[in-house]
Amino acid sequence: MTGRLLVVGAGQAGLQTAATVRTLGWEGPITLAGAESYAPYNRPPLSKAFLRGTADVASLALRSAAFYTDHAIDLVLGESIEDLGPTGEGAGTATTASGRRLPYDRLVLATGAEPRRLPIPGADLKGVVTLRAIEDADVLAGRLSAVDGLVVVGGGLIGLEVAATAVAAGLRTTVVEAAPWLMNRVVSTTTAAYIEAAHRAAGVDILQQARPCRFHGDDRGAVTAVELEDGTRIPAGLVLVAVGARPRDELARAAGLECDRGIVVDSCALASDGRTVAVGDCAHLPDPSPLGDPKTRVRLESVDNAVEQAGVAAATLLGEPQPYRGVPWFWSDQGELKLQIAGLARPEDGVVVRPGRRSGQHTVLRYRHGRLVAGECVNNPADFLMLRKALSGGTHLPAETAADTGIPLKQHLAAAATLDRAG
């Protein structure tokens, strides 16, 4: 391929697509454009190591400066693209906010997602922050050391990671979650309860089924408290709003591409025009799980998805489309807890609990219609790796067999795989 390729979005998915397509044989110019002034960097440490001061901007870089030169990838940073200027057949000329024009023959949208905000009074007070980019983490880190109380609104992965970091630094920390359990869209109630107990033991105060209705501030416009719907006021010198993210699909909508909770793509990462490719957090794609229903669409915010879908996108761009199939996986480091999830579970899926063989370990297997569809592991990387392999291979491990905790999971899975091969 010798055409001009423009990748909009210089995050993990955008970089991975540009790098992969070049490695696989794209010979034409590649431009990787991002609104941030930083070269593509690793976001997960922002809520942990970066806040602790054990990681800096340089250590977050996904590639060295030489990488872009060596692979002839032109980085355009600090430039927000305002218009894609499509002319048909996947080509066009994008225009940045500064008026710079970027012509392309093929387009990749890797525009990511942005934190959701709360439309309540006081949301614009100083000290009410979100976390997505390095600039956000800089602000959060600076304020963490200057206040005596943090309220985290949202008991999801990012919120709990920041809460664990803050309480370990000695900061009074409260998590406010609207749902009945933490990480309600991610893990089972069993795993949520296990992790909740660990956070409480570490000193985090957790309020569930609680919703903020107002942020209060002082005469300098700085936040001082969070008021809940029941009238409770929680003192706060800093508030992190971590209530999920919305896909950045504005450019795609303006260009006439189909969007529904993200940019709608097929299993080969193609958008509705049949030419534009969309990858990463902004893409709404068919469930890639081996036992998933292709008619079910998901939006996956993870490093794993950014890397795997980028490979699919690169193959599509080179005219060798290969449907995206794989086992999505996620991880979250929350203080002393390392949560690893393989597969996509639903709230109604069955649960088989396997207590860890060592203190602090916890594994839950999730079942749907009698089939193993996911696993949740806390401080148990061995179980996680085995479950990923089993899910990838479609190993059939009956729930009643898995419930026998007297036999190691490894042994159960090996026997199940043998039966599958024999049958």
Q: Which of 72-76, 149-153, 247-251, 403-407 has the lowest mean pLDDT?
A: 403-407
Mean per-residue pLDDT, 376-399: 95
Q: How confident is the model at residue 357 (pLDDT cuts 50, 70, 90)?
A: confident
User: Looking at this protein, which amino acid is placed at residue 19?
Assistant: A
Tell me the pLDDT tens digit for each residue of 292-327. 887 899 999 999 999 999 999 999 999 999 999 999
Greater pLDDT, 139 or 291: 139
Q: How confident is the model at residue 358 (pLDDT cuts 50, 70, 90)?
A: confident
Residue extents of the structural domains in the chain: 5-114+246-317, 117-243, 345-422
**Cβ atoms 136, 127 nearer than 8 A:** no
Q: Determine the Cα–Cα distance for residues 365 and 347; give it in Å rounded to an integer.
A: 13
Q: How confident is the model at residue 417 (pLDDT cuts 50, 70, 90)?
A: confident
Q: 117-243 adopts what CATH topology?
A: FAD/NAD(P)-binding domain (3.50.50)
Q: What is the pLDDT, as a whole number, of residue 418?
A: 87
Nearest to 366 by CA among 355, 374, 357: 374
Pair of tokens at residue 354 = 């396997």
Q: What is the pLDDT, as a whole number, of residue 194?
A: 96
Tell me the pLDDT tens digit for each residue of 22-54. 999 999 999 999 999 999 999 999 999 999 999
User: Looking at this protein, which amino acid is placed at residue 227?
Assistant: E
Over pLDDT 70: what percentage of the chain?
A: 100
Q: What is the pLDDT, as a whole number, of residue 423?
A: 63
Mean pLDDT over each residue of the chain, to the nearest integer? 96
Tell me the pLDDT tens digit for each residue of 363-373. 999 999 999 99
Q: Which CATH superfamily is domain 345-422 in?
A: FAD/NAD-linked reductase, C-terminal dimerisation domain (3.30.390.30)
Angle at 204 between CA 348 and CA 302, to 5 degrees: 50
Nearest to 178 by CA among 154, 200, 199: 154
Nearest to 277 by CA among 245, 314, 251, 243: 314
**pLDDT above 90 for 359:** no
Mean per-residue pLDDT, 101-122: 97
Tell me the pLDDT tens digit for each residue of 338-349. 999 999 999 999
Tell me the pLDDT tens digit for each residue of 230-264. 999 999 999 999 999 999 999 999 999 999 999 99
Q: 5-114+246-317 adopts what CATH topology?
A: FAD/NAD(P)-binding domain (3.50.50)
Three-state DSSP class for residue 112: coil
Q: What is the pLDDT, as a whole number, of residue 301?
A: 96
203, with CB counted inside 10 A (0-12, 13-18, 19+), is: middle
pTM: 0.95
Q: What is the pLDDT, as a whole number, of residue 267?
A: 97
Nearest to 336 by CA among 307, 371, 311, 362: 362
Domains 5-114+246-317 and 117-243 share a fold: yes
Nearest to 208 by CA among 199, 217, 219: 199
